[in-house]
Amino acid sequence: MTPTRFPLPVLGSEPSAALAEPSAPALVDLPDEASFAPGRVVGSEHGYDRTYWRSVEEQLHGDAALPDRDREFPLGAFDVPKGFARRDFLQLMGASVALAGLTACTEKPVERILAYTKTPNGVTPGNPLHYATAISRDGLAIGVLVTSWEGRPVKVEGNPTHPLNRGSTGPQDQAELATLYNPYRARVLKERGAGRSWRSFRESVRQRAAAWAADGGARLRFLCEPSSSPLLGSMRAAIQQRFPQARFHGWSATPRDTVYEGTRLAFGQTLEPQYAVEKADVILSLDADFLEARTTTLDQNQAFAGRRVPEARGGMNRLYVVEPRFSITGAMADHRLKHRSADMEGFVLALAAELGKTVAGLGGYGTPVGTPSAERSKFIAALAKDLSAKRGACLVMAGERQSAATHAMVHAINAALGNVGNTVTYTPPAVLDTATGRAGWQPLIDDLRAGKVDTLVVTAWNPVFTAPADIELGAVLKKVPNVIYLGPHDDETGAVVNWFLPAAHPFETWGDARSRDGTVSIVQPLIQPLFGGISEVELLGSFLDGEERKPYDRLRELHRSKATGDFDTEWESWLAAGVVPGGTLAAVVPFVQSDALKTALARLRTPEPGLELDLVADYKLIDGRYALNSWLQELPDPITKLTWDNVAQIGVGLAKQLEVESGDLLKLTVGNRSAIVPAWVQPGQLDEAVTVSIGYGRKQETLGVIWADEPTMVGHDVYPLRSAANPWFATGLKIEKTGKDYTLSYTQVHNTQDGRAVALMQDLEEYRQHPEAPEYRPKTNPLPSVQPLIEYKDQQYKWAMAVDMSRCTGCNACVVACQAENNIPVVGKTQVRKGREMFWIRLDRYYTGDPATPEMVSQPMFCQHCETAPCEYVCPVNATVHSDEGLNDMVYNRCIGTRYCSNNCPYKVRHFNYLHWAQDKSQVERMLMNPDVTIRARGVMEKCTYCVQRIERTRITARLENRTIGEAELKTACQQVCPTSALTFGSLHDPKSQVSLRHADGRRFDVLHELNTKPRTVYLTKIKNPNPELA
Amino acid sequence: MPLFPRWTNTVSRLSGVLLLVLPAIGIASLMIVVRSPWGTKQDREVIQPIEFDHRHHVSDEGIDCRYCHFSVERSPYPGLPSTTVCMSCHAQVWNKSPLLSMVREYYFKDRPIPWNSVHNLPDYVYFNHSIHVNKGVGCVTCHGRVDEMAAVNQKSPMSMGWCVDCHRNPELQLRPVEFMTSMTWRPDPGVDRTALGNQLAKQYNIHTRVACDTCHR
């Protein structure tokens, strides 16, 4: 009686269309976006001079624009789906009423319990295990702990013992599991479209190896994904030894080349700068978006946030940002200067000249070109004075998009200011290839064009898609006799290669990785390859002599020499801790080669004036590799709050000049290449520059994906605008209006806020003298209520949260973490337009000030767990009640979907399952679900639960050991991932806990205090530290 | 002349009464049915793929519950024995019996035995065994005399009301933890059950919760 179905991943041969909106009814013709934008311009709040507003439409058009000012739900939210006549509707309703009574009478089908044949070691069914591994991005790694339920990974957490990220992770790291369990991943090894076996591939390589042996591999090339893996490094060395004439090249769509070229130019050696941001009192960022929670800069997030509060030891730091677009780092800046990327070299030379008046060693680096604006001169004067006053405790950083010359000057400035050894140190690079941009692959392209290569092995991600248009990589590859591509999808590159190998996900393979500071971690797999994927190690192994060896064996052999005692014991300890000791790179003390630098700077050309195109790595998809990750596609962009799309961000002034509105399709042309992208009027965007994210615009057919009811592409491909000479920016941009419209889905204008003090922001001095927050606090401003006051004294725990908006960068890591932990569904672009996005955390972004140069505050908003919750007393079936410990419980099985609770919630943090998002999930997608959290069906309301499943598990563990829950052992999902420790959770009964301290903080206020909801989640005012000379 | 014939008075009164009484009877009977053994699946026969007789293994052989249900003290799930646990004896004892041929077949094919769940709480209920057994709730309290069952059936109603009754008055159901798996434990003669329960509740630091999030998340 062998069972016919297993809950284990026995996979069907075709992926379901579950990636699309499941069973969404036919689309309604939605009205244009104007009807979605709220009309109210928010006036001054109590005692504040700031005016907060939500979008440019509000600010610019005011009351006149829009008829739906007070409309809570956008038009179309309640429309009956098209194609559904009234008579059918009534018939169906009648039938369902009749049937509804009968469904309760049918028996629940018998559930099976499938026990192990042999229980694996260490596994207790029902209790998760955590395995340490590492995730790499741009070749640099962080340590993570992956929660695994009986061999099924379900959640990614940061590894607290890893020195780089110390327990935090970014949005992409949180979404890695959605990539792992993506049913559209490639499964079949192909040669020219026909399925082949791994053995036949190895055989083909072996046959060609004879020819390579003859000429030392002169016709063999490798195009590699950036990596710092010691194992891959050793295999490359072995291949190089076998075929001395073979070459390895690096390829990345987001190269960090200029970082290394900058140090080469400045110091004469290739180095990796390591920033100790916590030691800096003043920070200048030249387009360095270090506060984006990218894997490579997570340590800088925590370091920055630690000095971002008024009570920080050493005082609050000050951040200056110079950039063409409005970035996350720009939003955290105390002072921000809009500046073209092309003019950045001029800026840094002007800064050096200004600094040179008071600081030795910065003279003679060349005169800045062009006529600087008065605004820029004033900025530089104040900036230079501030930096000069903080020698040794300041930091200048340049972003990866900037030129090597800018980087080199930044190093010279840091050296002159005495920062080397304090706020910045230098180590050898941890990566295997320091050239993954043009310097890395141009020699290869030349060889390919010259016909010098017969076999090219590509492990870089999708180079044909990400290649600058002018090198025409697709055509070049088609001429190469044998191209082998290892990729997660049979994509644009797979279409032109001979051999396509489906790549295994890093969570399915053995390997190792290094982080930026050199720390080595072993990458251990969490699950067997779901789709028979192949790892890079195995692929490179096929180019070596001898028998096929498992990556695990190669890995152990490589690291055996590192053990000081018994290797097996130490190996286990490395796997358990996630860190192999002894990998940290030693600091180097370099000296500025001023003469060489000056010679190089003399060769700089004056940039052309005019409109500049700025290409940026997307905050969610990065270079496009996450295009099939629905979590990241639906994640609202931190600044524009757009979902499922990319746009051309244009400045307010330019928009007015060109008479362009958000949603107008524009044709952007650089040289002889163009792309069509919808416009987005972005406050804070430089008028002389247009910013577009790369990575979008993949064609459905290429990916074999069907997004039901969506257009054939998600977003717009701007890689055609990329040139080999400069991947990041180009002058001479021309904009044409196509006269067509494009509908965008964004979350920023849903849920209008009236003129209330929702997100407070103050300058440091103002806060010290007149803190605003006490006005919005129960103790200082208690309000009367008809509801009886409950003291919550008798219970053991009094759960509460605190959000420090001074620390919050708006990176969105918490949103994805919450989605991963709580099985939150993805709804698709159309439903997001109707306001039905299901994220439990909503990152509100408020602008203040002039639209051209705004300031921004980010406020994560989720269920406040109000002690006198307005949602609780309106539920007709008592589905939402208050627990004895302060949680607002949401009981899904009682909920009948009246939505009265959401109606009454003033924070609008409740989300209703309008459609059955959880059905039609393929077997693979079901594996992504956290078994500790109910999967909600259609018709129930859901919201943040303070991670009640974690509270209950930790409570039981603590009660079994007869003790109370410690502060460090219970963290909500959002708190655990936050790179800046902005979120805190804990019990208010513990007066020494972080959350109690924050509840007592001078900056603490309750959002919408005047409604007397007594929320348990409190917020701390965002404090800015402006320079009095620039204010 | 009356407008309506007299007999319509009876119709009117009768229909009024029935309008009140019939829905009441209807709702009441539905409520009773749901709480009846038919509704709660109590005492219902569940056919298993392999006839495992607890009477033999527990009563005759004296095997403790935890030999097979190994994770009950550490995990929400008590755990079903892996086939290896069965074979740990049955590779030697009755190793050619036709009654055990399916066990051997599943073991050697490395396939899980598809047991049918008897105590099947709805998916929105999150019950944790470890906290209950470690705080003095015996196996027999909820599962009945499994050592006398030929095939396991559900002895308790397993309804929410039944659970909450104990959560409100745990002292009526407690026993010393050492007797967790005992099927026949009684308090010593002369010892009041409730008094013992109260003492154990204090000793084991029992604070049962009835907030919704205790079980529903």
SS (HEC) of A195-242: ECCHHHHHHHHHHHHHHHHHHCCCCEEEEECCCCCHHHHHHHHHHHHH
Residues of chain B falling short of pLDDT 50: none
Which residues from B are below 8 Å from A869, CB to CB?
A: none
Cβ-based contacts of B71 with chain A (< 8 Å): 124-127
**Which pLDDT score is estimated for A105?**
55
Residue with tokens 């099927």: B183
For A522-570, what is the HEC assignment? EECCCCCCCCCCECHHHHHHCCCCCCCCCHHHHHHHHHHHHCCCCHHHH
- Residue A546: what pLDDT? 85
Cα distance between residue A483 and residue A222, in whole Å: 10
Give me A341's structure tokens. Answer: 């990327």
Which among B74, B124, B213 has CB closest to A887?
A: B213
Q: Which fold has domain A190-255+433-521+530-552?
A: Rossmann fold (3.40.50)
Report pLDDT for A5.
Answer: 36
Residue contact A893–B216, C-beta within 8 A: yes
| 8 Å CB contact of A956 and B128 | yes
The 10s digit of each residue's pLDDT in A341-365 is 999 999 999 999 999 999 998 888 8
Q: Contact B120/A948, CB-based, under 8 Å?
A: no
Report the alpha-carbon distance of residue B172 to residue B164 in Å, rounded: 13
Give the type of residue at A703: L
A345, A359, A348: which is closest to A416 by C-alpha? A359
Residue type for position B159? S
Can you name the residues that pair with A849 across neighbouring β-strands? A854
For chain A, residues with pLDDT lower than 70 are 1-107, 368-371, 700-713, 749-754
Which of B59, B60, B57 shows the shortest CA–CA distance to B85?
B57
A residues 880..899 contacting B (CB < 8 A): 881, 883-885, 887, 889, 891-893
Chain A residues with beta carbon closer than 8 angstroms to that of B110: 117
Beta carbons within 8 Å of A187's beta carbon, 6+ residues apart: A502, A531, A532
Gap between the Cα atoms of A58 and A65, Å rounded = 8
CA B69 to chain centre: 15
Distance of residue B214 Cα from the nearest chain A Cα, in angstroms: 7
H-helix or E-strand containing A89?
helix A86-103
Does residue A556 contact residue A571 with C-beta atoms inside 8 Å? yes
Q: Which residues of A touch B131 (CB under 8 A)?
A: 956, 959-960
> How many angstroms from the chain centroid is the CA of residue A190?
32
* CATH class given for the domain over A608-746: mainly beta
List CB contacts (< 8 A) between A102 and chain B.
Answer: none
Would the CB atoms of A127 and B71 count as touching at under 8 Å?
yes
**pLDDT score for A793:** 87
From chain B, pick out residues whose CB is under 8 angstroms from the CB of A796: 207
Residue in A1, A889, A962 nearest the CB of B213: A889
Chain A residue closest in CA terms to B46: A110
At residue A306, φ and ψ (nearest 5 deg) are -60, -25
Residue listed under structure tokens 């159309």: A830
Domains of chain A by residue range: 190-255+433-521+530-552, 272-427, 608-746, 761-780+798-1028
CA-CA distance, B178 to B204, in Å (whole number)? 12
Q: B211 vs A962: CB contact, 8 Å cut-off?
A: no
Strands A713-714 and A511-514: unpaired
Whether residues A962 and B117 touch (CB distance < 8 A) is answered with: no
B216·A892 Cβ contact <8 A: yes
Tell whether A119 is within 8 A of chain B (Cβ): yes
> Which residue in chain A has the smallest CA separation from B122?
A108
Q: Which of A837, A795, A826, A803 is nearest to A1016 (CA)?
A: A803
- B contact residues 145-204, partner A, Cβ 8 Å cutoff: none
Distance CA A580, CA A570 (A): 9
Q: CB under 8 Å to A649, separation ≥6 — which residues?
A: A325, A326, A640, A680, A681, A682, A685, A690, A691, A692
Nearest to B71 among A3, A124, A962 (CB): A124
- What are the φ/ψ torsions at residue A73 (nearest 5 degrees)? -105, 140
**Which three-class secondary structure state does DSSP give residue A190?**
strand
Q: A137 Cβ partners below 8 Å, 6+ apart?
A: A172, A294, A295, A296, A622
Cβ of B74 within 8 Å of Cβ of A124? The answer is: yes
Q: Which residues of B touch A149 (CB under 8 A)?
A: none
Chains A and B form CB pairs within 8 A to the count of 125
CA A999 – CA A1019 distance, rounded (Å): 8
Give the Cα separation of A466 and A436 in Å (integer): 13
3-state secondary structure of B65: helix
What is the 8-class DSSP label of residue A136? Answer: E
What angle, rounded to 10 degrees, do the helices at A567-577 and A551-559 form? 110
Asked if residue A513 lies in contact with residue A134, where contact means CB atoms within 8 angstroms, the answer is yes
Verify whether the Cβ–Cβ distance B82 to A115 is below 8 Å. Answer: yes
Taking CB atoms and an 8 Å limit, are A960 and B76 in contact across chains? no
Interface of A with B in 516-575 (CB under 8 A): none
Task: Give the best residue of A103, A882, A952, A964 to mutate against chain B (max B CB count within 10 A).
Answer: A952
Q: Which residues on chain B are in Cβ contact (under 8 Å) with A951?
A: 213
Q: Residue B106 and residue A117: Cβ atoms within 8 Å?
A: yes
The CA radius of gyration of chain B, in Å to the nearest whole number, is 25
Per residue in A567-625, pLDDT tens? 999 999 999 999 999 999 999 999 999 998 998 888 888 888 999 999 999 999 999 99
pLDDT digits (tens, 9 = 90+) for B104-153: 999 999 999 999 999 999 989 999 999 999 999 999 999 999 999 999 99
Residue with tokens 């509908």: A743
If contacts are CB pairs under 8 Å, which of residues 99-128 in chain B contact chain A?
102, 106-107, 109-117, 120, 122-124, 126, 128
Q: Using CB atoms, pick whichever of B106, B211, B217 lies closest to residue A884.
A: B211
Architecture of domain A272-427: 3-Layer(aba) Sandwich (3.40)
Q: Which long-range contacts (CB under 8 A, 24 or more apart) does A92-96 make?
A: none
- A151 Cβ under 8 Å from any chain B Cβ: no
CATH pick for A761-780+798-1028 out of 3.40.50.620, 1.10.10.10, 3.30.70.20, 3.30.43.10: 3.30.70.20
SS3 A248: strand
Q: Check residue A53 and report its DSSP letter.
A: E
Which residues in chain A (939-958) have CB-CB distances under 8 A to chain B? 945, 948-949, 951-952, 956
- The pair of structure tokens assigned to A406 is 């800018």
Number of neighbours of residue A35 by Cβ within 10 angstroms: 15
Q: How far apart are CA A370 and CA A609, in angstroms?
A: 10
Pair A124, B74: CB distance under 8 Å: yes
Q: Are A836 and A74 in contact (CB under 8 A)?
A: no
